Amino acid sequence: MSLTVLTVVGARPQFIKAAPVSHAFAAHGGIREILVHTGQHFDAAMSDVFFEELDIPPPAHNLEVNSLGHGAMTGRMLEKLEEVMIAEKPDWVLIYGDTNSTVAGALAAAKLHIPVAHVEAGLRSFNRRMPEEINRVMADHISTLLYCPTQTAVVNLKAEGITKGVHHVGDVMYDVTLAAVERAKGRSEILNKHGLTPKTYAVATIHRAENTDDPERFARVIQWLSDRGRDVPIIMPVHPRTRKLMEKSGLNPAGVQLIEPLGYLDMAWLTHNASGVFTDSGGLQKEAYFHRVPCVTLRDETEWVETVEAGWNRLWTDADYKPRQEISEYGIGKSSAKIAQSLVEAKK
């Protein structure tokens, strides 16, 4: 039996999540994957390097849709994805996470009556002001198969009336993190390049619209980082949008070393050796736990409530961490193989 899966990716976190699943498809046999890059992240440092480092095959289609507002970007992606899906006739469309690429892939497939499988289904921040939250909800209600990284995600879907096709498979990010640390050990020079000693520095990132679109809030985040920088050296790979905002506003965190965006292996090694992580990124919150590095989330809520309950993560508005414990529901690094097998079985 041959199964054709059309995978839609477009942003840095999706390239990372797609890597172990693509490898699982190849290892399983009988699965033909067509990778479509929407172009949402188009800078080489935010795109090409991940395909190279994570050994992901080059995209069969690059739609080159970027640098537009939410509506225009999603609409353009929808139009171009529909053309690709009509030409390729996949059995499944596979989407990841919560970006414009995610919801465009889901909508295009639904209108062509192609079943959708959503990796990282069921996450909720319960903040509908976040575009990511709207994308998550829409994608989940369109999808036929919903691959949840946690039991909390399963419960969230049940509360919205979604129970059919829901699978708790664990987190594919854990799969790729385990592999990346082993690869980075012998390859990454990021610590030497920046004169860093393990466990003596913190890593920071800022890119979410809720922090960058509100000038007053952005100023608060920058001041918060400046205050932390008095206690521990901070190194911050800067998202292109955030760098433009810093230049425009004249706001730069004191005591923070700003560097260009990193490839996945360098970022994994930088995080693995850090003493702490300060971020508004959903992915990096989890990765911090996978590396067993405490995290402070620079938001007022998080989708990854397990990391907070287990004491590895806290919101910046919280005074301290809860007692620390391990999180079992993210799995043991075999989530991608479960997804491959599930898609094959669903075709039978």
Question: CA-to-CA distance for 299 and 282, rounded, in angstroms?
Answer: 10
Task: Record the tokens describing residue 80, joined without a space.
Answer: 């171009």
Report the largest interatomic distance among the alpha carbons of the chain, rounded to a whole angstrom.
60
Specify the DSSP class assigned to residue 145.
E
What sections of 89-122 are H helices per DSSP? 100-111
283 SS3 class = helix
User: Among residues 215, 279, 275, which one has the least CA distance to residue 250?
Assistant: 215
Q: Which of 23, 41, 168, 207 is catalytic?
A: 207
For the beta carbon of residue 100, count every other beta carbon within 10 angstroms.
27
In the sheet that holds 166-168, the strands lie side by side as 61-62, 31-37, 3-9, 92-96, 116-119, 145-148, 166-168
Q: Give CA separation, 218 vs 108, 206, 211, 252, in Å.
A: 35, 9, 5, 10
Nearest residue to 37 (alpha-carbon basis) of 62, 5, 2 = 62
336: nearest Cα among 180, 173, 181, 223? 173
Active site residue 207: yes
SS3 content of the chain, % helix, strand, coil (to 5): 45, 15, 40
Element counts in the chain: helices (H) and strands (E): 15, 13
Q: Which residues contact 193 (CB under 8 A, 6 or more apart)?
A: none
Catalytic residue numbers read 207
